[in-house]
Chains A and B, each alone.
Chain A
Amino acid sequence: MSARLAIALALGLGACGDNRHIDDLFEPVSGSRLKLEWHLYEDGTRQAETAAFYDLDVHARCTPQRWIDDVIRCVPIAEDAIYLDPTCESLVGRAQTIEKPTHFIAHDTVAGTTLPARLFRAGPTTTPVTQRYELRDGECVGPFSTPSDLTYYQLVAEIAGWDLIALRDDEVGAGRLALAYRATDDGLRVPSGLRDRDLDLPCTPTPGAGGGFRCAPTEAATPSTFRDPACEQAVITVPDGAAVPTIAMLADPSGCARYHAVGGEVTGPLYRRDGEACTRVTPTPPPRQFPVAAELELPILERTIEDTPGRRLQRIILGDDELRFVDDRLHDTATRADCLRRSSGEVTRCLPAVIASATRLRPRSCAVEVLVAEIPQHTCERIGFATAITEEQPTIHAIGDRAADTLYQLTGGGCLPYPGAPGNELRTLGPPIAPETFPAAVRYGER
């Protein structure tokens, strides 16, 4: 089937309104007091903010943090309250980053850990101070200096810490895949991550070689050494005393990652690939060695792109037989690729989820610079764009064809050919794409 026909059929089928109806979709919901905030894109698509909420009683944005009572509470985003006297009885608010602070939080240190302990409402500004004290394990210590050129505020009312909404962690899903979420007694519910119950590890939706998605371990070690002189038996090396990883990740020829168990400790010579060669290496001090063992079967994720008419961005629904939830990614129909919410300057935009970093190299003479992207020859997901820092501003560029000529870099040895990493290729980049090309979002809160 030709590419055009495939495109046309895909569009045509979509036009028939073949939207999958999802009854058991896990979606974030607000509580009666703790309200969700949403990112609303210009096409009407919205995404829940899962890291911050709005507390209707305190009248402040808040984020889940461990309070001094060891309970995760939604703690207002606030400036520091600092102790003024050697007995740590009187406090003042110190504004460093928030222009019009509404709350201040005093932090205490217990067993080396500093935690929020007291919450105050902001009063009028007051005379700047130059020294402060801290409560450490119940003892008031100090003084310490504090900048006098900051704005200081009186504190007018203390809000009891136990009055802040507590959040609890729970999970749903009856199968291997569990969706972790945070919930409150007032009814708020937001997803916080995925967990592979069989491996008992957090996992992340990840594309596989066959085009499907799996929930792959969020943390995995990538081996760069081998146990054999043919460089075929990968081995994880770990400095003595460091934690031993449980999962290893290897790239298959398609560029997709495969995940493996990590075997028991072994000893023996180590080898490393050096271009086409496999050469013996003798690290000093010798690291501990753990061979890459059998490949792991990962939980398969069903992935459905919604088809909401008139919208450039479409939500992605992930799940298995027991569970359905909304992905952090959106599908951008303009780029035919997934995008992620990211800050672009002072604006939040949905930018390509898979994006390369631009590299500055030089044509043969090394007299001028050109921007290129160095990307693997085989990638699991298409990489269509690259970011660059140009005149202090991050810019996005379309990735073009393979660079026709050898490119060079200026080094201490002069203008030398840039070798690139094995398996990578250099691709040309177009000029910066206007930021407005990518959908912008504004944040709003439910009240």
Chain B
Amino acid sequence: MSADAMNTAPVGHGAPREFTARHAIGTKVRGIALVAHDGFSARYDLDRIAGTFSRPAHKLVGQSYVGKVLVLDTAKGGVASAWMLREMASRGVVPLAIVFNSVNPILVQGAAFGDVTMLAGFDDDITAQVPHGAAVQIDPAARLLRVL
């Protein structure tokens, strides 16, 4: 369930649920999911000093992204994110991982440059599958997102 549709999506019944991505990069991580059917651009959407979503129209506006696994629909915006993920990581104000239904090259380049774990490309809308606030594990080697 995404932030904009909380209390509507089913939650797993005890057993971990796994989702396989077509694309993956980075190292295995475990964290809390921040979920929304919305886009992502480091320049357009974030207050990178405060570590929060700042675009007024964003469904996660006001929420902290620091250390979270972002589960979002698609990469948006300009090319700056390719630099910004590394810059954010250098200050410890960076998401733990980012998961997209659809990604653009910029976020992938940024993940490669900034060593941020990323998955993209699922058969179903991943933002409708992962509960907002759930503990998840991202395993890029296996291209898996696991809801714990």
B and A form one assembly: no
